[in-house]
Copies of this chain bind each other. A is one copy, B any other.
Amino acid sequence: MHRLLLLLCLLLLSGWVVAGEGADGPTVVRIGVTLDQIVGIDQKAENFSAVYTLRVRYREPALAYEPTPGAPPFRMLTFAKTMERLQAQGVVWPGMFLANQQGRHDLSRQGIRLYPDGEVHYIERATAVFQAPDFDFRDFPFDSQSFYIRAESLLPDSLFVFELLPEHIGVGDQLGEEEWQVFDSAAVVDTVTGADGLGYSRFSLGFQANRHLLYYVVRIFVPMLIILVVSWSTFRLKDYMKRIDIGITVLLLLIAFNFTLGNDLPRLGYLTAVDAFIAGTFVITGAVILVNVQLRIWQHQKREREAERLDRLARIGYWPAYLVGMSTALLLL
């Protein structure tokens, strides 16, 4: 959780506009985003797809109107109609874009409520794909990752500044995501400096998630453990050729696991925890086969005593060797 806090603090230091300060100058635009559903997290493409609801509220005096008695306290407008009226009156509006969006976004709800004093309530519910470039797989599958939805102002903060709309910020309680658990979320407003040297308001809703580990335990670790136990049990037999055969079978199985896990991840420039784990197992399995070849040679050469000593060593050292191999691999990360 403190990685997210740290990131948010950095955001704050990079220039947080204290809400309300800009009272007389720029128009205050209040923004709220709720994360309603997670459609999917694609760790290979480093993005996630989500259904969000964005609410934007500000006052545009040019849109004020005389209320009709008996009518509802607001009017409904479509987005297109509102844009038309704003352009016709020559006033600017607090446009924004989702800075880490990828591809299209599909609206399932969009509308504007206009109040007599010119207060504009915009709401948009949509599904979109968001970039999640902060993925760090070094601890995979024990990793926790940060995700963001970011809205950036089209106009500089001399015209519009963002403020949080706390009652409409949050993460839904039925995200429909089974693999990941969201355990923390936070929202901030800060200011980024554009290439033109001006400041632009930015809203960020961040959340952090980690994985359910059961999948990896049930599909990788337990099968591997049982195979290693079986492989070790054959050390109680004196049949060295059999041991070599089983060792080669374990090697082939490790190659298959290796590819299966590799297909889950992007092609990284660094090793993950599970890669190190498999690499360690790999090297030890190779060494175990070499030991057995040596045993077989000594057996052939009738050098029973050397064989007996090495064999006992191998039988006793089997589990420590695997533990040391995996630990070393994990430490070398």
Contact = CB atoms under 8 A, between A and B. Distances in A.
Interface string A37-48: 101100001110
A93 interface: yes
A293 B125 contact: no
A223 B37 contact: no
A259 interface: yes
Interface of A: 37, 39-40, 45-47, 51, 68, 71-72, 74-78, 81, 83, 86-87, 90-93, 95, 97-98, 100-106, 108-109, 111, 125, 127, 131-133, 135, 154-155, 159, 167-168, 174-179, 181, 195-196, 211-212, 214-215, 218-219, 222-223, 226-227, 229-230, 233-234, 236-239, 241-242, 244, 246-249, 251-255, 258-260, 262, 266-271, 275, 279, 282-283, 286, 289-290, 293-294, 296-297, 300
8 contacts: A37-B102, A47-B176, A95-B111, A178-B269, A181-B269, A223-B255, A226-B282, A238-B300
Q: Is the interface of A mostly helix, strand, loop or mixed?
A: mixed
A178 B46 contact: yes
B214 A271 contact: yes
Nearest to A262: B219
Contacts of A247: 230
Copies of this chain held together in the complex: 5
Given A168-B195, A212-B269, A237-B300, A105 B108 contact: yes
B175 A133 contact: yes
Contacts of A109: 97, 154
A14 to B, nearest CB: 14
A230 B176 contact: no
Nearest to A78: B83
Contacts of A45: 39-40
A196 B167 contact: yes
A26 to B, nearest CB: 10
B37 A219 contact: no
A218 B98 CA distance: 37
A196 B197 CA distance: 38
Given A108-B98, A271-B214, A230 B297 contact: no
Nearest to A285: B226
B76 A211 contact: no
Given A103-B106, A214-B269, A239-B241, 15 more contacts: A39-B47, A39-B103, A71-B90, A74-B92, A75-B90, A76-B86, A77-B87, A81-B87, A97-B125, A131-B174, A131-B176, A226-B283, A233-B289, A238-B300, A241-B242
